[in-house]
Each structure stands twice: as C-alpha cells, then as structure tokens.
Amino acid sequence: MKFLCVECDQQMTFEERQLPGDGTLAAAFRCPRCGRAVALLTNPMETQLVASLGVKIGGTTLPAQPLETVRGMVATGRDDAFADGVRGRGSGVRWSADAEDRLARVPGFVRGMVKRIYADYANDRGIAEITPAMMDRARSELGLEGM
C-alpha cells in the first residue's frame, strides 16, 4: 500500500509512527514535492489485524531479500508445533531405520508435520513401530497419496 499526493501525483514518504498505548496506531506520511501531509489512524482491532499480518508500517530501510514475505510467514509458526510430546501425543512410537530414512527425504520445513501425522496415526491405532509399509497404509487411508 502506498499513499500518493493527489496534487503532485508523487508517492508520499513515511514520516512518523506512533503507538499511543491505547491499542491504536498512527502513521504520518508527507509529499516530498509539496510538503502536504496525511495521517493514518487505526482503531485497536485494525491495529491488531495489521500486527498479526506482519505488516511493516513505514517500510524498511534495508533492501528486500529474496522471498522475504514467504520466509516471514513460514518463520512465524511455533517451533514446537509438531514436536514429539506436544499435547501428550507422538511419544512412545518407535521408528524403524527404513522409516527414518524415508522421513529424512521429506523437505525440512514440513518434516515435523509429516512426522506428527504418522505418529498420531500409529498412536490412534495402537501401532508400536512406524515402518515404510505403515507409512504407505497411512497415506492411503488418510488420502495423502498425491502429496
């Protein structure tokens, strides 16, 4: 989102951001050509929405990095979201060496989720060891063949 000066048709530059403490957000922008200013004021709900989306009010002084937005979205997840033992699940299941080798070929950014799916499948069915055959059966029963 950019603010344009109607008179000059110039992109306004970020000038100031304030967080008054009452949940609102204020940001000021100024036209570099004619000096006109405009302010943006958000209510607490809008401020929370903007913050939850990771929007940077006022932009950044650093050059954008490749895939910066995507990396930011991926990095905002909880580190332990799919770790063993979360909510008391996923523990007590052994992985065969072949199943661990197969799991190691899963891309790292989804490996924890895949491991959690198989562990939950095994726990729900009383399976003590995850094997490649069990992984194939789980994929079929859970409708994950195309993944």
pLDDT at 34: 94
Left, alpha or beta for 121 (phi > 0: left; psi -120 to 50: alpha)?
Answer: alpha
What is the pLDDT averaged over residues 29-38? 92
Q: What is the pLDDT of residue 90?
A: 44
d(CA 43, CA 100): 50
The structure's pTM equals 0.41
pLDDT tens column, 67-122: 666 666 665 455 455 554 444 444 579 999 999 999 888 888 788 888 988 999 99
Split at pLDDT 50, 70, 90, the class of 49 is confident
| Gap between the Cα atoms of 64 and 71, Å rounded | 12
Span 44-52, mean pLDDT? 77
**Edge-to-edge strands, sheet with 37-42:** 13-18, 25-30, 37-42
Domains of the chain: 1-58 (2.20.25.420), 86-142 (1.10.8.550)
Q: 100: helix, coil or strand?
A: helix
Which residue is listed with tokens 């989804």?
Answer: 110
Please state, in angstroms and rounded to a whole number, the distance separating the CA atoms of residues 77 and 18: 27
